[in-house]
Amino acid sequence: YGNNLLTHSLPQVGVFTGINLNKNFSLEIGHESSILRERFNTLSYPDMAAGTIVPSAISPINFVSKISIKGPYVDLIGIHPISSRNSALFSIGVSFLKARAERRATCICNEFNGRNRRLKGDKLVLRLSTGFQYRASDNIHLRMNVGWTNTSKMKLHYRDLVCAKSYTEIRPKDTLN
């Protein structure tokens, strides 16, 4: 469930704004969101689901799994001018990320079943990035960044009342973006 859905590199979108503190430092605040990832899979006896073997009496089970990670962030950005229009960037910051996952059983033993399991987790995590910036005008800058976010510190837990033999936890990998 985790390795195929929670890859190291999640496509994402974001919006941000910033203010120059001086010619070498800026403060940036923003919000980023991963693109909703979705996966379909089928489990049959003797596959494992939530820590237990899928019984042959209810095989096969079809699942739809979804996950998204989003939240606000703040970064301190160091700016090193290379030329009058180009600069190297280095940043350190924190994100308060909210991760949400859902696993829905769509079919059990070839019969429709709409049972949903929802997981969630919130965490303040470290983020680092480096890149280059081109100054198109005094107020418009174009940027190319490579970043790392410590999403492996997050843990997602079930937030429903369904009893299970095992305690399920999802741990995303660190994210490269």
Q: Tens digit of pLDDT for each residue in 56-108?
A: 888 888 878 888 888 999 999 999 999 999 999 999 999 998 888 887 777 77
- The CA distance from 97 to 118, in Å, is 17
Half-sphere exposure of residue 49, counting CA atoms within 13 Å on the CB side? 23
Res 4: pLDDT: 46
- The CA distance from 147 to 91, in Å, is 9
Tell the residue number behind the tokens 């049972």, with chain if given.
115
**CA nearest neighbour of 66 among 41, 91, 92, 32:** 41
The model's pTM? 0.72
Contacts of residue 113, Cβ cutoff 8 Å, sequence gap at least 6:
105, 106, 107
Res 2: pLDDT: 44
Q: What is the DSSP letter of 155?
A: -
- The CA distance from 127 to 69, in Å, is 14
The phi and psi torsions of 164 (rounded to 5 degrees) equal: -140, 155
